Amino acid sequence: MGTPRSCAVALGATFLLAISAFGIPPDTPEFTFGAAGDFGTGRAFKATVGAVQQRNPDFFIALGDLTQSSTGEEAWCRYWNDHLTSTRLLIVPGNHDTDIARYVRYCGSPFQAMITGTYPWQYYFDYPPATPLGRFIVVSPSIANGVPVVTDYSAGTPGFAFVANAIDNARRSGLKWVIVSMHKNYIATFVKRNEVSTDRGRTFMTMLLDKKVDLILQGHEHGYARSKQLTTNPSTCPVLPVNTFNDACVVDGDNDLVKGAGTVIQIISTGGKGLRLVERSDSEHQYFVDNFRDADSETWGFGEFTVTPTELSFSFVRSAGQGFNESFRIKEQHFTEEMSPRHRGVSEQRE
Amino acid sequence: MYAFCPLRRWVPLSLLVVLFSGLAGSGGGARLQAVSPVPGAPQEPQIATDPGFRELKGALLEGIPEFPAYPGATLIGSAERNRPDEKNRGYRIKWTTVDRPARVMAWYAKTLPRSGWTYVPDDDPEEEDELEAKIANATFSGYLEAETEDYPNRELTDIVVVLARK
C-alpha cells in the first residue's frame, strides 16, 4: 500500500528519471506547422492539401495567392475545410487575392482569441497557447487589394512600428522563436524583384535583419528557395542589398544553423501553381542555397517545421513530383571564444 | 523624398530609351523589336541580372529561337541563363502588355503550335490573374506565363518566357 508521501516520491523520481534519460522535462512543448503559397485549384493544389492532411501539422500558414480566381474563394476554402483533420488554416494575403474578406468568411478565422492586430492583413499570435515558444507575425507589404491597413512598411509607418514592437515584446517575453510571414519577396532567384522594402534605406527588411528574426516566410515567386542565414552588421553589411550580392551579409550557408546568428528567408511557393525555373543569372541567387534544380520545377509540396525550445527544424514534404529533398535546422548553441567570428556576429547586433 | 518626385517614372524610361538608341546604332548582333515607351516601368529591374550574364534591355539576344511576340506588347529585355563561357542553358524574355492574361494566353495557345512549339496550359481553368503553360520545341523546353502586375501608375500584364536548352 503506498502512502501519499511514497507516491509523491515515486512521481518525483519518475520526473527526474525522465529528465536524465531524455534531457528535457516530459511536458516540454513541441509543435509542428506547415507553410506554402501560390495554390490555384488544380491537381497540384489538391495534392498539397492531401499532404497537409496526412502530416496533420498544428496549423498551416497559406502564404498568399490562394486561388487567383475572382469567384473561387468558397470552393477553395471548402476544399481545405473538407480535408483538414485538426490543422488550423491561417491566411496571408497575396497580390492576386482580390477579395480576401471572402476567404476569411469561407475559410474561417482561427486563433481569434490569441490574435493581436487585424486578421488576416497584419497580426501576430504566440504558440502554443499554454506555454508559447514562438511568435508568428503576418504582414502585407505592397498588397493593394482593399487592405484596411497601410501596407507601406517603411520606417515611421504604423506597420513598421507594429512589427518592431511585436519582435521586441516577444524577446522581452522570453519567446524563443520569431517568425515573420508575408506574400511578396525582397530578394529572389526566379523572376521577381524587391517589392517588400522599397524605400531607399530598405528600412523594413533592415529592421527585421537587425533584430535577427529567425525566419521570414514568403510566397509570390513560384518555386522553392531558402536563403543562407543572413545578417546585417554596421561595418560591412549595414543593409542587405538587392540586385547585387554582398558576401559580408552571409553568416552560414549549410544546413545546420546557429540560432540567433541571423535570419533565413524562405520562399515556399510550391502549393500548386506552375513552377518557374531558378535563375542563376540573377545576382541575388548567391544569397540562396543552390538546391532547387530545373528538374524540380515539377515538384510541389509544403514546408513542415518542428519547433522545440532549442531547435527549429524544417523538411520539405512533397505532394507531387519527385526528386527534390530539402531539410535544415536552426539550433540553439552557446557561443564560445572558439566559434567563428561570423557566428559570433550575433554580438555585433546594431542597437 | 524620391518617392514623391514627379519625374521618377521617367528616369528609368529615359535610361531605356538611351540604351535602346545605343543598341540600335551598334546593331549588337541582336534582332531588334520596336520598343515603345513603358508607362510606369518598375523602379528596379524585374530580374537583377548578374553582370557576368549577358542581358539586353529592349531587345532579343542573338541565339534566341524564333518565338512569336504578342501583338502590341513592349519588349522589356532578354537574357542568357548561363555565363558566356558556360554551356548554353537557355534564355528568358519579358514583355508587358495592357491586355489581360487570358487574352494573351489564348493568343499563344493558337499561335505557338503553328510555330513549331507545343503548348500545355496549367490545369487550372478558373485562374484569371496569373496563367502558365509549359512550352517546348525540338531544342528547348520551358514555360510561358502571363501575370497581372501593379506598376506604379496602372496594372499591366507581364509576359515571361523562360527557355531551357534540352
Task: Report the pLDDT averaged over residues A270-299.
Answer: 92
Pairs of residues, one from chain A and one from chain B, whose beta carbons lie less than 8 Å apart? 106
Q: Is the separation of the CB atoms in B105 and A20 below 8 Å?
A: no
pLDDT of B23 > 50? The answer is no
Task: Report the pLDDT averaged over residues A16-26.
Answer: 43
* Bridge partners of residue A313, in order along the sequence: A306, A329
pLDDT of A241 > 80? The answer is yes
Give this complex's ipTM.
0.80
Chosen for mutation from A68, A245, A281 (greatest number of chain B CBs closer than 10 Å) is A281
Count CB atoms within 10 A of the CB of residue A344. 15
Query: What's the whole-number average pLDDT of chain A?
Result: 89
Contacts of B79 in chain A (CB under 8 A): 281
Q: Is the separation of the CB atoms in A225 and A267 below 8 Å?
A: yes
3-state secondary structure of B10: helix
Distances, alpha carbon A219 to alpha carbons A35, A61, A129, A225, in Å = 9, 11, 26, 10
User: Which of A126, A117, A104, A105 shows the shortest CA–CA distance to A59?
Assistant: A126
Planar angle of CA A61, B155, B94, nearest 5 degrees: 85
Which residue in chain B has the smallest CA separation from A286?
B50
Give the pLDDT of residue A71: 76
Question: Half-sphere exposure (CA, 13 Å, Cβ side) for A88?
Answer: 13
Instruction: State the first-to-last Cα distance of chain A, in angstroms, to the nearest integer.
Output: 62
- B101: cell is 492574361
pLDDT of B13 > 60? The answer is no
Planar angle of CA A224, A49, A219, nearest 5 degrees: 30
Task: Work out the pLDDT band at A28, boundaries 50, 70, 90.
Answer: low
Which residues of B make CB contacts under 8 Å with A?
A: 2-3, 42-51, 53, 55, 79-83, 89, 92, 94, 122-124, 126-130, 132-134, 142-143, 145, 148, 150, 160, 162, 164
Task: Work out the pLDDT band at B124, boundaries 50, 70, 90.
Answer: confident
Give the pLDDT of residue B154: 84
- B121: cell is 496550359
Task: Report the pLDDT averaged over residues A335-344.
Answer: 53
Contacts of A41 in chain B (CB under 8 A): 124, 126-127
- A12: cell is 518525483
For B151-156, the CB contacts below 8 A with 24+ separation are B151/B39, B151/B40, B151/B41, B151/B42, B152/B9, B152/B40, B152/B42, B152/B43, B153/B9, B153/B39, B153/B40, B154/B39, B154/B40, B156/B39, B156/B40, B156/B96, B156/B97, B156/B98
Give the pLDDT of residue A338: 53
User: Which of A314, A242, A232, A323 shows the shortest CA–CA distance to A275?
Assistant: A323
Q: What percent of chain A has pLDDT over 90?
A: 77
Give the pLDDT of residue A295: 85
Contacts of A40 in chain B (CB under 8 A): 122, 124, 126-127
Report the alpha-carbon distance of residue A312 to residue A325 in Å, rounded.
17
**Which range has highest mean pLDDT (A17-31, A207-221, B16-30, B73-87)?**
A207-221
Q: Backbone phi, then psi, for B137, in 5-degree steps? A: -135, -160
* Bridge partners of residue B78, in order along the sequence: B56, B93
Q: What percent of chain B has pLDDT over 90?
A: 55
More confident residue, B2 or A92: A92
Which pTM value belongs to this model? 0.84
Q: What's the pLDDT tens digit per position in B30-81?
A: 333 333 334 444 444 466 788 889 999 999 999 999 999 999 999 999 999 9
Give the pLDDT of residue B50: 87
- Closest-CA distance of chain B to residue A95, Å: 9
Which residues of A make CB contacts under 8 Å with B?
A: 40-43, 45, 65, 67-72, 95-96, 98, 142, 144, 191-194, 198-200, 222, 242-245, 272-274, 276-277, 279-285, 294, 297
Could B160 and A191 be called an inter-chain contact, meaning their C-beta atoms sit closer than 8 Å? Answer: yes
- A218: cell is 514568403
Give the pLDDT of residue B35: 34
- B91: cell is 534564355
- B158: cell is 507581364
pLDDT of A321 > 70? The answer is yes
Distances, alpha carbon B161 to alpha carbons A259, A295, B81, B146, in Å = 40, 17, 12, 9
Could B47 and A282 be called an inter-chain contact, meaning their C-beta atoms sit closer than 8 Å? Answer: yes
Q: Is the separation of the CB atoms in A273 and A222 below 8 Å?
A: yes
Least confident of B3-12, B19-28, B109-118: B19-28
For B74-77, the CB contacts below 8 A with 24+ separation are B74/B35, B74/B36, B74/B37, B74/B38, B75/B33, B75/B35, B76/B38, B76/B41, B76/B46
How far, in whole angstroms, is CA B113 from its chain's centroid?
A: 20
- Closest-CA distance of chain B to residue A71, Å: 8
Contacts of B146 in chain A (CB under 8 A): none
Task: Report the pLDDT averaged over residues B120-130.
Answer: 84
Least confident of A169-173, A185-189, B147-151: B147-151
Among the partner-chain residues A96, A200, A274, the one whose CB lies closest to the CB of B2 is: A200
- Closest-CA distance of chain B to residue A181, Å: 21
Residue B138 amino acid letter: A
Give the pLDDT of residue A123: 97
Omega cis (within 30) before A120: yes
